[in-house]
Chain A
Amino acid sequence: MLRRALSIGLPLATFAVIAAAWELLVAYGGFPPKLVPGLGTIADAFVRLAGNGILLSATEATLYRLGAGFLIAALIGVSLGIAMGRRQWIEDTALPIVTFLYPIPGLAYAPLFVLWFGLGDLPTILLVGVASCFTVIINTWKGVKAVKPIWLRAAEVMGARDREMFRRVVLPGALPYIMIGLRLGLAQAWRILIAVEMLMSVQRGLGWLIFGAQTFLNTDVMLATIAVIGAIGIVLERQVFTRIERYTVVRWGMVAA
């Protein structure tokens, strides 16, 4: 009983303490209120931005870029990963390149992409796609490699053709890894997108909102936007992927629910 009360009460108390400390800092810290806004001011900024539709349109623009970029990453990543896993010569040819490009932070390409494709949506989406596809490639490839050889042989003996083999054995077998890859890829795309929006001076977007607010010292707007970014991050991670997993890999009995 005490344990239950504590497990709800302690987090609440922590947040209350942090909020109180912040308010004390604002009131007595001697910082300019423009730079260190109170919680009320931040909430006001949030309500204002949500009310006049700026927040909604920025979120929409950012999610559109995320979706388009992630789609590119998923298409390239899954198809190349499967090709590498199924054909030895493709693996031998592509793996050194993939291993070298994998640890380069995608963001470092940003100025180069601006040079090539100009500013705006196109380079942002391309960059997010390129930056997050390597995680998907590597995980898909590992997943296809991890399909048990005995399943392949059993299916072969039972007369499965290449196509059936792929659809019935390889794909379900590799799917848990592919899902991990897509999940990590989406998280990476999300992290990079916000920064890319700051560098690419896109028309609207959450990253742009933070960056634009910096010019006018609107720290309340910046903090409110950061909170929204965090909330979207949680929703993407907890809702979208857990749900997809429940409908695919868990239902097929590949992993425990």
Chain B
Amino acid sequence: MNKGFSWIAFARGVAGVLALVAVWQAFALSGMFSTAMTPPIGTIGAIMWRLLADGSLIENAAATLLRVFVGLAISFSLAIPLGVLMARYWVSERIFLPVLSVLLPIPSLAWVPLFILWFGIGNTATILVVVYASAFPLVYAVWTGVRAVNPIWLRAATVMGADEATLFRKVIWPGALPYIITGARLAFGRAWIGVIGGELLASPKLGLGEIIFNAAEFLNAGVMLSTLIAIGVIGVFFERFVFQTLEQATVRRWGMVAGSRG
């Protein structure tokens, strides 16, 4: 898929985006809905600019991202010990795996109303949703990653006198890292969905989901669309740039994956 840059492909991509914009514009101005509900591109741009200029978009995006990262940090601190235990000791796998298999198929957002009753509306419920959404992909990633470490490396390191801590730091961790980073990417995607849903349902004070929810009360489709675009841009940014770069910087440099990509 790595063909290098092609002007034709780029021009077609631009044409596709322009066509989509044109269709939207025609739809918005057709009078099928009032322009308050389907604002034309110019209005969306103006609203976007206003939200950026008064800092409210950045403030809300920061609140949302903070929730995602606090949630992901909690997920990591749960998933790494749990995944390693499950992979290294058969007994702990038999203990935890059934519980995970029961909890895994329940959508994280199904818990929101219950979390709201238990912890009130606001941050706690939203962050818990993020943790619930992101912990499972991480546990599975750590678990499969540690199991996938070549047993010969383990035996070789043990023979050469590595103790348990060194073994973990020098062999197991780097060996499992490709899986863990892929899991982190997946976990971020889940967390990103979870946090928006959590904000829509649990209504904390700030957040991108909260802007959309409030804008719905005032039938303000322009604000909703601007926020949606911001959500998309932030999602693409983290997915494509942050996690992909992380993958390349660590995993490929250590020669764990031969230039593969997801």
Contact = CB atoms under 8 A, between A and B. Distances in A.
B15 interface: yes
B105 A237 contact: yes
Main DSSP-derived SS at the B contact region: helix
A252 to B, nearest CB: 26
A226 B111 contact: yes
A110 B200 contact: yes
Contact of A194 (B8, B101, B107, B208): B107
Nearest to A235: B105
Nearest to A93: B16
Interface in B142-175: none
Contacts of B112: 195, 198
A103 B236 contact: yes
Interface stretch (A70-78, A112-120, A156-164, A239-247): A112-120
B190 to A, nearest CB: 9
Contacts of B95: 10-11, 13-14
B258 interface: no
Contact of A199 (B99, B102, B200, B231): B200
B224 interface: yes
A137 B219 CA distance: 32
Contact of A115 (B193, B219, B239): B219
A214 interface: yes
Given A100-B232, A105-B197, A92 B8 contact: yes
A177 interface: no
A116 B37 contact: yes
B16 A108 contact: no
A157 B215 CA distance: 60
B138 to A, nearest CB: 17
Size bin of chain B's contact surface? 35 or more
Contacts of B212: 108, 111-112
B53 interface: no
B202 to A, nearest CB: 11
Contacts of A10: 91, 94-95
A198 B17 contact: no
A116 B37 CA distance: 7
Interface in A174-201: 190-192, 194-195, 198-199
A139 to B, nearest CB: 12
A6 interface: yes
Contacts of A18: 99
A13 to B, nearest CB: 8
B221 interface: yes
A191 B108 contact: yes
A110 B198 CA distance: 13
Given A194-B110, A214-B117, A103 B232 contact: yes
A86 interface: no
A10 B93 CA distance: 9
Interface stretch (A53-61, A122-130, A147-155, A215-223): A215-223
Contacts of B17: 96-97
Nearest to A15: B98
A195 to B, nearest CB: 4
7 contacts: A6-B94, A15-B99, A93-B12, A97-B16, A107-B200, A111-B213, A234-B105
